[in-house]
Amino acid sequence: MSTQPATRPDRNELPVVQQIISVMWPSFITASAATILFFTLFDPTELGTIGGFPNLTRTGGYTIGFFCFWLLTSVSCAMTCYFRRPTHRPTETKPEA
């Protein structure tokens, strides 16, 4: 038997709120930085014209760009969170007698 009480969660398990924060928040920061860098180099209206959205306004372009970046970075953060979970847990053996 484990010495820990049954109600106590695994050490590697963070509360749900913190798990959500650790995915959404770092990705938000990196997405913001990426958006600034990207749109400094590229004008969203020009990208829109090339991509077949001639009516795209700049503000719209920035917004869509930001959320695309956020989606990508949050996927990356989520995968990191997922992979850092231990894949194998040693099976608990009952002590003799």
Partner 1 sequence: MSEPAAKAQEATIEQDLYKKREKIYPREVHGIFAALRILAMVVLLGLYYGLAWVNWDGHQAVLFDLPARKFYIFGLTFWPQDFFLLAMLLIVAAIALFMFTALAGRLWCGYACPQTVWTEIYMWFEQKIEGGSRKQKKRDAGPRDLAYYRVKATKHGVWLAFSLWTGFTFVGYFTPIRELWDAVLVWNLGPWETFWIFFYGFATYGNAGFMREQVCIYMCPYARFQSAMFDHDTLIISYDEKRGEPRGSRKRGKPSAEAGLGDCIDCSLCVQVCPVGIDIRDGLQYQCIGCAACIDVCDDVMDKMGYPRGLVKYTTENSLEGKPTKLIRPRILVYVGILSIITAAMVYVLATRIPLEINIIRDRNVLYTETNEGLVQNVYNLKVINMDQQAQRYNLSVSGLEGLEVIGPTEGIEVESGAVVDLPLRVQVDPIELKSSSTEIMFHIESVLTPELSVTEPARFLGPVLR
Q: Does 18 bind partner 1 (CB under 8 A)?
A: yes
What H or E segment, with its residue span, contains residue 20?
Answer: helix 16-41
What H or E segment, with its residue span, contains residue 63?
Answer: helix 58-83
Site map (CB under 8 A) of partner 1, residues 50-69, x = contact = -------xxxx-xx------
- Binder of partner 1 out of 29, 50, 75, 79 (CB under 8 A): 29
- Binder of partner 1 out of 15, 52, 54, 86 (CB under 8 A): 15
Nearer to partner 1, 56 or 96 (CB): 56
| Alpha-carbon separation of residue 17 from 4, 13, 26, 79, 80 (angstroms) | 24, 11, 14, 17, 17
